[in-house]
Amino acid sequence: MTRTALRLLLLAAVLLGLTSCSAPPTAATHRSELLILVSIDGFRWDYLQKYDAPTLRQLAAGGVHARRMTPSFPSKTFPNHYTLVTGLYPQNHGIVSNWFFDPAYGETFGMSKPDSNSQARWWAGGEPVWITAEQQGVRSACFFWPGSETENHGARPSLFRPFEGKMPSNDRVDGLLAWLDLPAGQRPQLCTLYFDLVDHAGHTYGPDAPETATAVQQADAAIARLLAGLAARGLRDKTDLVIVSDHGMSPCGPDRIIFLEDLMDVNTVQVESTGPNGGVRPKPGGPTPAELVAAIRARNVPHLRVFLREEVPARLHYSRGDRIPPVVLMADDGWNIESKTGWPKRAPTYVRGSHGWDPATSNMGALFIAHGPTFRRGHEFADVENIHVYNLLCAALGLQPAPNDGDDRLVREALAR
């Protein structure tokens, strides 16, 4: 090599080093062999200390822990699970509630309707991380997650299971571990895993009930089983875990109800959602949305706010798209919006806990833990919005993220330096 060529090579190396040092931290320096994204539905942020969860507490202490993760509005299951894996607010990815009406289709999406989970048209507004991975040569496997049962952008996860709500948590863990026993060329590098037992207990008994404490213990035991299975396969120290929840849980009951019939003539509207937040769409010939909002506001109903869709506070990012009803009703924390139809029979078994209220409400806060070779150790910080999780997943996997509403703040907070 000539002296001139050597100088040019050294100069190029120096310039490359300067470029690397000044580049933003968009990808992990230390890459694991496997990333598992785990959701414990309804695991409120303070359950980690409130109840017996030794495995989760150990992971939080040894990895990266946000004391509270703020969900997106509405703080419900399907919108937030899709936000976690797309980085988009619900108004932008289109899954605006657990149940919603799409006037373009003339149909209602429902979280428990098999067609809604398997038809691509409902989910096309966002690119979930498993699709980002597949398109960039990273195999993915979804052991339950909203949106994982359908084709998206012409692709699917390499492996997936349609949701089975009655499947025990241990069977879910074992099913995912079985995928990790596949030959190297078939083994996934990105997995999702979903548990719903904590959410069910919170709804049925309330967030402060002993049954909810037991459900937290059972979820913690399922995580311990997952860790043991990874260790048995020699993967424990080569795996990144990102453990999240979609929302928290507030106590409520049949004594704190706002009835739709006390707000409006329900025969003039299509009721599209109820509960902690509600929505109605005026029928042809009925009042305009503006007239309906004005009439409800004139009643000065306690524990209730009402908005035209376009007037929903900007911080909630819930004002665009026809899937959001033209009139949005928001109850105060602990209060619910319901219909009087069939109420005497429903009241005795009404939920003792729920979610869907303003994400800023303390009880709506969710769980965030990241642990593994890609992440910092022993780092805790105050709060993060869940729109930033997608970019972190992409960075940990070395993927180029699709356009989204998040930024790199969680990447900078969580990745090992």
Rounded to the nearest 5°, which phi and psi values hold at 308? -65, 145
CA–CA gap between residue 169 and residue 190 (Å, rounded): 19
DSSP per-residue string spanning 99-147: EEEETTTTEEEETT-HHHHH-HHHHTT---HHHHHHHTT--EEEES-TT
Whose structure tokens read 């509207």? 269
Q: d(Cα 107, Cα 100) in Å, to the nearest integer? A: 9
Residue for token pair 């180029």: 400
Count of C-beta atoms within a 10 Å radius of residue 203:
18
Calculate ∠ Cα 227-159-60, nearest 5°: 25
Strand arrangement of the beta sheet that strand 190-195 belongs to: 159-161, 140-143, 190-195, 34-40, 239-244, 366-371, 64-70, 379-385
Nearest CA among 380, 386, 373 for reference residue 413: 380
Amino acid at 101: F
Is 77 noted as a catalytic residue in this protein?
A: yes
Contacts of residue 3, Cβ cutoff 8 Å, sequence gap at least 6: none
For residue 249, give the DSSP letter: -
Annotated catalytic residue, options 19, 26, 55, 77: 77
CB-based contact 85:39 (threshold 8 Å): no
CA–CA separation, 336 and 96 (whole Å): 18
Q: Nearest-CA neighbor of 246 among 97, 54, 415, 412?
A: 97
Span between the terminal Cα atoms of the chain, in Å: 36
Please say whether the beta carbons of 149 and 163 come within 8 A: yes
Print burial letters for 295-307: b (CB count within 10 Å at least 16), e (below 16).
ebeeeebeebbbb
Would you name the residues annotated as active-site residues?
A: 77
